[in-house]
Amino acid sequence: MHRGDAHTDTAAAVRMRRAEDVLNMQRVARKGGTSLLLRWLGTRAGAEVLLVDSSGAVASPPRTPLGDAEGDLVRRAVRELTVRGLRSMAVDQDGTTCIILPLDGPRGVCMPLLAAVFPKPAALDVRLLLADATSALSLGWMTEHTWQRQRRVQRADARLREAVLRLLMNGQVTVARQIAGALRPELPGTVRVYVIEGPPGIRNQVADELAETAEHAWIVPCPVYGDHMFVLVPAGPDAPPDPSPHWTRSPSLTARCWIGVSDELPLRDTATGYAQAFHALAAARHRAERQSSFAGNPDLALTIGPDAVTWAEGFLAPVHAHRARRHHDPDSKELLATAASWLNFSSRATAHLKIHRNTLSARLTCIQRLLDLDLDRLADQAALALALRALAPGRPARPQHDAADVPSSLDELLRLPQVAGWAEHQFRPLRVPGIPASVPDTLTTWLRLDARIAPTAAALSLSASAVRKRLTRSEALLQRSLLRPPSAVHDLWFARRALDLMAREPAPAG
């Protein structure tokens, strides 16, 4: 064979190997991105391959950490490349070589540099291999960089929406509107609240679908429950005439999710709308159509009337008078917001308020001390819940009659004639023919034992699962959530207490 033919064959083999390397790099980049491609390059080149920034700091680490001498060599090579303004740089030191190649990117984007550290002598095709890799690495890094920026924007948007939701739940409508002004759409004056429940793994997909189909709706992934989506939909005279938006009938949504819907409410009553939608969701789980609207049920604070406001002001007076002793201690507003969140979400209030569980515990201890309550007792929980609801925005004003005519205790409020009718209404769904007596009996025992499963099971000689099944049956009949907060347990405790008081002493004449 002539020398020219041998040289031609060698060149063809080099070109073939180079083409295979490029194809392999593209396949690896598609499969695992820049990190997997860097590992492949390190194995192929017999080197430690990494990405560094313009100061020489590691952006994407190699397979094994660099030693001090190797790290100094990389930083030296980066400085040389930057000072000289070259497109590549190779620096030798003590039998080790470092090659630096910049990645290509659009103007204004600070692209990283490709660095390879290997012992001398290096394979002849290493420099060419690294040069070919810059194209795939540039594209992969830009794709990942863009995706990360989009994720940061999405996370920031989600945090803002969570903040707006938290303000609305606390009745701070003005501040919520100011923050929401930076987002779209604008918050409506009258709303319906939708709570959508589905597998946690599809929540982001559901949110994307709703963003495309639910026009003018506010969509917020629930900060408390990972399987819930919170949707605020405009209502009132400016809303579409169809009470059930078209997106709620989407097969992709109704086949996988359950939907609870509140009444039309002013924006300031978002917390009430959320509780209504949550209760409607408990009913939707037992329906073939997988969605339900809130079944109107009179509110106890509204049923009692303005007298509830007077009682609640006296009940909560110690908290309203509380002043923080140190700058990091909670003030009265923070304590009341914490109480409302804990009553609604129990231990999950930490996720709602973004506080540590020790902070939640300390605030609840402070509330108990100020109000002389034991929040492990259902009776004290219910009293605190009623007081907070009575003083919520939009409630009736305090009556202008003689203070001597105002009921002074909670039991006196529960003896009012209108409360007796309200209490009867609460338990009416459990008293229809065909409902086994064991269902209301289990519910009554559960209420008497501070809504605790284990003591209820022991008292009825049942298993804990049997008690939960009966309470789930009660949920379906009452169309109220019992086992998962926000719960109707406080209303049911008041109803049970009012019926007990009426049995002992008839209600006074109206």
Contact, 471 vs 484, CB < 8 A? no
The phi, psi pair for 235, rounded to 5°, reads: -135, -175
The phi, psi pair for 415, rounded to 5°, reads: -90, -5
Could you give the maximum distance between any two Cα atoms of the chain, in Å? 122
Give CA separation, 63 vs 40, 99, 465, in Å: 10, 17, 51
Residues 6+ apart with CB under 8 A from 450: 376, 377, 378
Contact, 290 vs 284, CB < 8 A? yes
Q: Which helix (H) or strand (E) segment is 480 a member of?
A: none
Q: What is the CATH number of domain 25-146?
A: 3.30.450.30
Contact, 261 vs 291, CB < 8 A? yes
Contact, 395 vs 313, CB < 8 A? no
Q: Tell me the CATH architecture of domain 170-293.
A: 2-Layer Sandwich (3.30)
> Residues in the chain with pLDDT < 50?
510
Structure-token pair, residue 358: 């020790």
pLDDT tens, residue by residue, 267-324? 988 988 999 999 999 999 988 889 999 987 788 998 998 899 999 999 999 999 999 8
| 96-102 and 190-197 strand pairing | unpaired
Q: Is 311 helix (H, G, I), strand (E, B) or coil?
A: helix
Q: Where are the domains of the chain?
A: 25-146, 170-293, 415-510
Total residue count of the chain as it appears in this document: 510
Q: Please, what is the average pLDDT of the chain?
A: 88
Alpha carbons 91 and 102: distance in angstroms, whole number: 15
* Per-residue confidence (pLDDT) for residue 461, from 0 to 100: 96
Alpha carbons 381 and 378: distance in angstroms, whole number: 5
* Per-residue confidence (pLDDT) for residue 250, from 0 to 100: 81
Contact, 245 vs 192, CB < 8 A? no
Contact, 284 vs 307, CB < 8 A? no
Q: End-to-end CA distance of the chain, in Å?
A: 119
Cα-Cα-Cα-Cα dihedral sign, residues 300, 301, 305, 311: positive
Cα-Cα-Cα-Cα dihedral sign, residues 284, 287, 289, 292: negative
Structure-token pair, residue 65: 């950490």
Structure-token pair, residue 317: 């007076």
Q: Is 180 helix (H, G, I), strand (E, B) or coil?
A: helix
Contact, 50 vs 60, CB < 8 A? yes
* Per-residue confidence (pLDDT) for residue 405, from 0 to 100: 59
Contact, 232 vs 188, CB < 8 A? yes
